[in-house]
Amino acid sequence: MADNVRSEDVLGQKWDRCVSDTMIKFASGLGLGIVFSVVFFRRRPWPVAFGAGAGLGMGYANCQHDFQNPFLAYGQRIKVAQKAEPK
């Protein structure tokens, strides 16, 4: 029998995944922007803003995709058994 999962719990899991993914992408973009700013662009501020904005945009796009496809089963693979043909 299938587990009864409340819709509030599913929505909460999606929000948690969305927020954590966006924070990781934002921080990664910010970090890469700082590195590129220091190493290549003589401490100009625009690589930092560009990296942070790109990370925030990628996180937003992933969240939008997650909320628009409500029936995805994450991490579950379903195998179809083939019937044996009679001889």
Phi/psi at 65 (5° precision): -65, -40
Look over the chain and give the mean of its residue pLDDT values, rounded to a whole number.
Answer: 84
pLDDT, residue 69, reads 73
**Residue 29, in any domain of the structure:** yes
**Residue 3, in any domain of the structure:** no
**Residue 85, in any domain of the structure:** no
Query: What's the rounded mean pLDDT across residues 63-70?
Result: 82
**Residue 15, in any domain of the structure:** yes
Least confident interval from 15-19, 48-52, 66-70, 71-75: 71-75
**Residue 41, in any domain of the structure:** yes
The pTM is what?
0.69
For the chain, the domain total comes to: 1
Reply yes or no on whether the pLDDT at 20 is more than 90. Answer: yes
Provide the percentage of residues in the chain whose pLDDT is more than 90. Answer: 48
d(CA 41, CA 31): 14
**Residue 4, in any domain of the structure:** no
Reply yes or no on whether the pLDDT at 75 is more than 60. Answer: yes
Residue 48, class by beta-carbon neighbours within 10 Å (0-12 exposed, 13-18 middle, 19+ buried)?
Answer: buried
**Residue 45, in any domain of the structure:** yes
* Residue 45 Cα distances to 9, 31, 36, 75, angstroms: 41, 12, 10, 40
